[in-house]
Amino acid sequence: MSAQPQAVIPAQTEAQPRSSTFYVWYVVAVLMVAYVFSFIDRQIFSMVVGPLRRDLHITDTQVSYLQGLSFVVFYTFFGILIGRLVDIYSRRTIICIGMVLWSLFTTGCGMAGTYWQMLALRMGVGVGEAALSPAAYSLVTDYVPPKRLSTAIGLYGAGIYIGSGLSFLLGGLIRGYAATKGALILPLVGQIHPWQILFFVVGVPGILLAPLLYTIREPQARGGSTHPTVPIGQVFGYIFRNCKTFLLHNIGFGLLSLTAYASSAWVPEFYVRTYHWNIRNVGVIYGVLVMVLGSLGIVGAGRVADYLRVRGHANANIKVGMWIGIIWFPLNFLMLLSPSPVWATIWLAPACVLAAAPFGVAPAAIQQMMPANMRGQASAVYLFILNLVGLGLGPTAVAWGTQYLFHRDDALRYSMLVVFSTACLLGAGLLWACLRPFLGSLDCLEQHKAKLAA
C-alpha cells in the first residue's frame, strides 16, 4: 500500500464539472467516521482510571501519562513529518495506513500486562493518529467552498464528540459487565483483566473499516493550485513571517483544548470521587451528553463563524474562539462546585457544548490563512502545539494538582477548577490579542497569491 506522489494538474476551469454537493459531503462524512474511531481509541482510558491504578499499581499522574503525554509526544512529532507527506502524496492512503496502525496498537493494549507495555502501545496509537487530521483538513479544504469551510471542518470535527461519547458509553457498559467477572482467558492472548476487553471492542472495528477511505478520490488539483510542492524551508519561512498570528492562535486555542481534554480525562472520575456515582451510570450519561451536545457545539460554532465571515468579519473564527473562553470560565465554577450531582450535570451540559466548539473554528482559521500547497504542514504545526498544550498538559496538570497540591483523591474537583479556569481566561486573552494579527496574515496571503500570479 505505497503512497504515490500526486501529479501537478492544471486547475479546473469554470467549464469543467465540479464534484456534486452530495459527493462533497460524502467525503466529509467518511473522514468524520475515521475521526470517530480515532477518538474512541484515544479517550477510552478515561473509563478505566480505577482499574488501571489497582491492577497496574500506578498513581493518578501515571494514569495521566497514558491518557495524554505518552500519546501526544509521538502524535505531535510524527504529525510534523506526516504533514509534509500530506502536501506531496495521496492523502487517503496516508489516512488509511494511519487508521490501521492506531487500531492495531489500541487492540494491543488489551494484551498489555504491565504499565510500561501499555505506555509503549499508547505511543504507537499516537503515531497512527498523527496521519489523520492534517490530511483530512487538506482534503476538506479542497472539496468545500470557502463560505462553508468552517461548517465542514466542524462536521468533520464532530467525530471527536461522537467518538468520545461512544468511548464513555461503551466504557461504562463494559465496565459494568466486567465488574461482575473474574480474569478472562482469550484464545491466542491468554489471561487478561476483564476491563481490557474494552480495547478489543474499540480497536478491531477500525482495522476493518480502514478500506472505506478508498471510496473517496483525490481532487485533481490541490486548492486549484498549479504550483509544484514548495520546499519545506519556504513553508516554515511563510509561517515565521506570520509567527505572531500562529503563536497567539495556536497557544490560545491550545489552552481551550487543555480544558476540553482534561475534562474528558477526569469528568467521569470526578463523579465517582465527588458524588460516589457508579462508573456505568457516569459513562452512559456523559457519553450521551458528549455525543449530542459536543456535536452541536462544534458544528454550531462553525456555522456562527461562517455567518459572521460572510457578513464582513474576516477574523470570525478567532472571535468565536475568544467568546468561547469567556463564556466557559464561569461555567467551570458552577459545575465543579455544585452541591449535588444533578446540578453538576445541569451545568455540564453547556460545558460540553463549549468544550467542543473551538475544534472546528481553530483549524478552519489555519486553512483560511495559508496557501493551498502549505496547508498540510501548517495544520501539522497547529496540531503539534494544540495537542502538546491541550492533551499533553491537560490531564497531567489536573493529576499533579490532585496528587501534589491537594494531596488527596477527593480534592479532584478543586484541581480541575484551578486548571480549567486559568486555561479559559488565558486562552480568551490570547485570542483577543490575535484578532488584529490574523487580519494582517490574510493580507499576507493575498500578497503571496499576487506574487505567484505575476
Query: Quick one: pLDDT at residue 454?
Result: 67
Residues 409 and 402: beta-carbon distance below 8 Å: yes
Does residue 4 carry a pLDDT above 50?
no
Query: Quick one: pLDDT at residue 330?
Result: 95
- Going by pLDDT thresholds of 50, 70 and 90, the confidence category of residue 228 is low
Residues 365 and 249: beta-carbon distance below 8 Å: yes
Query: Quick one: pLDDT at residue 60?
Result: 82
Does residue 17 carry a pLDDT above 50?
no
Which whole number is the average pLDDT over 445-454?
79
First CA to last CA distance, the chain: 40
> Which residue shows C-alpha cell 495524554?
68
Does residue 173 carry a pLDDT above 80?
no
Please report the DSSP string for 395-434 in residue order: HHHHHHIIIIIS-SGGGHHHHHHHHHHHHHHHHHHHHHHH
Does residue 15 carry a pLDDT above 50?
no
- Going by pLDDT thresholds of 50, 70 and 90, the confidence category of residue 339 is very high
214: left (phi over 0), alpha (psi -120 to 50) or beta: alpha
With H, G, I as helix, E, B as strand and everything else as coil, classify residue 191.
strand
31-40, 129-138, 314-323, range with the lowest pLDDT: 129-138
Query: Quick one: pLDDT at residue 429?
Result: 96
Residue 428 CB-half CA count within 13 A: 16
Does residue 177 carry a pLDDT above 80?
no
All three cell numbers of 185:
482467558
- The rounded distance, in Å, linking the Cα atoms of 362 and 382 is 9
Q: Any residues with CB less than 8 A from the CB of 313 and at least 6 apart, and which?
A: 319
All three cell numbers of 31:
473522514
- The rounded distance, in Å, linking the Cα atoms of 392 and 260 is 12
- In the predicted model, what is the mean pLDDT of the chain? 83
Query: Quick one: pLDDT at residue 8?
Result: 34
- The rounded distance, in Å, linking the Cα atoms of 321 and 380 is 20
Whether the CA torsion 306, 311, 317, 319 is positive or negative: it is: negative
> Which residue shows C-alpha cell 487580519?
439
Query: Quick one: pLDDT at residue 226?
Result: 42
Reference 416, options 362, 343, 349, 344; nearest CA is 344
- Going by pLDDT thresholds of 50, 70 and 90, the confidence category of residue 225 is very low
Q: Is 21-213+230-453 a CATH 1.20.1250.20 domain?
A: yes
Query: Quick one: pLDDT at residue 179?
Result: 63
Does residue 227 carry a pLDDT above 60?
no
Query: Quick one: pLDDT at residue 229?
Result: 64
Does residue 278 carry a pLDDT above 90?
no
Query: Quick one: pLDDT at residue 178?
Result: 64
4-8, 305-309, 346-350, 397-401, range with the lowest pLDDT: 4-8
Q: Which residues pair with 181 in a beta bridge?
A: none
- Going by pLDDT thresholds of 50, 70 and 90, the confidence category of residue 90 is confident
- Going by pLDDT thresholds of 50, 70 and 90, the confidence category of residue 437 is very high
Which whole number is the average pLDDT over 231-249?
85
- The rounded distance, in Å, linking the Cα atoms of 106 and 149 is 32
Q: What is the dihedral of CA 154, 156, 162, 163, to 10 degrees?
A: -130
Which helix (H) or strand (E) segment holds residue 350: the answer is: helix 341-356
> pTM higher than 0.75, yes or no?
no
Q: Please tell me which residue, 63 or 192, carries the higher pLDDT value.
A: 63
Q: Indicate the residue type of 420.
A: F
Q: pLDDT of 279-335, one tens digit each?
A: 888 888 988 898 899 888 988 998 899 899 888 899 999 999 999 999 999 999 999
Spell out the alpha helix ranges (H) of 47-90: 49-56, 60-64, 70-86
